[in-house]
Amino acid sequence: MLDLQEKEYCPTLEEIAQYIKNPVFMQFCNDIKEKYNLPLCLFGHSFGSFLSQSFIQRASDLLEGVILCGSAKQKGLDIKTGEIVSKLQKVFCGKDKPAKFITKMAFGGFDKKFAYDKMENAWVCSNLDSVKKYNEDEWCGAVASIGFFKSLFCGVKDLYEECNLDCIRKELKILIISGDKDPVGGYGKKVEKLFETYVDTGIKEVSVKLYPDKRHELLNEDIRDQVMFDALNFFNSCVIKSNCEDKENNQTA
């Protein structure tokens, strides 16, 4: 059992994945969908969005729709470099040691475009009050372990293999949202690449929305209400589509 209240410990992706792939978790999803006849939708943000990218490759048949927030298509030399460095550090330093060097390598340059804000972690949000709270919160900004980053880089690398993408149900509705000033999304470029990847895979209903001048934490921006409104509208459309399909299937039967 993982103790996620232990601030000094950050689980690896393999450990987190135990819960995603666990039969009890999958049965819980099935129970909601079948026993209670309720549609399931998923909202994944940031790191959670990459877990969600993986989840829809494993179990998209359980979902009516998914929103990927603060996400991107993370593929290229930086991911390969991160994988090599994290593997080497795991050998020489161990998997549980805080990955200070890798953290600097991965996130160190994010603040450069926001130097005018004169605040650490300004890349997180254009609402500087939110950034201040983030910086002052002892539960935020912890340095993840070497094992975590090793798992992250290796896991992300596999997300865009054709054999894995083809496992996504083509009727799954996908909405990708991000701030167009979010460095995680390559200031919109990597977000668009993720959108194009799903389109090329044959997903029938995939859309993308970039919020002008907003950064990584959309739900802490001053347009939070608009983001929530857009998310609710999307999920409502997923539920309506599911209900219509159920009626058609019942009539056919």
The band of 17, judged by pLDDT with boundaries at 50, 70 and 90, is: low
In a domain, 25, yes or no: no
In a domain, 253, yes or no: yes
pLDDT digits (tens, 9 = 90+) for 81-140: 989 999 999 999 998 899 999 999 999 899 999 999 999 999 999 999 999 999 999 888
In a domain, 245, yes or no: yes
Say how many domains are in the chain. 1
The band of 1, judged by pLDDT with boundaries at 50, 70 and 90, is: very low
Domain that holds residue 216: 39-73+162-253
In a domain, 172, yes or no: yes
- Its pTM stands at 0.86
**Domain containing residue 68: CATH number:** 3.40.50.1820
In a domain, 15, yes or no: no
The band of 252, judged by pLDDT with boundaries at 50, 70 and 90, is: low
Listing DSSP states for the chain in one string gives ---TT-TT----HHHHHHHHH-HHHHHHHHIIIIIS----EEEEETHHHHHHHHHHHHHGGG-SEEEEES-----SHHHHHHHHHHHHHHHHH-TTSB-HHHHHHHHTTTTGGGGGG-STTGGG-S-HHHHHHHHH-TTSSPPPBHHHHHHHHHHHHHTT-HHHHTTS-TT-EEEEEEETT-GGGTTTHHHHHHHHHHHHHT-SEEEEEEETT--S-GGGSTTHHHHHHHHHHHHHHHHHHHHHHHHHHHHH-
In a domain, 44, yes or no: yes
Output the pLDDT for position 156.
87
pLDDT digits (tens, 9 = 90+) for 53-83: 988 998 899 899 999 999 999 988 888 898 9
In a domain, 220, yes or no: yes
In a domain, 234, yes or no: yes
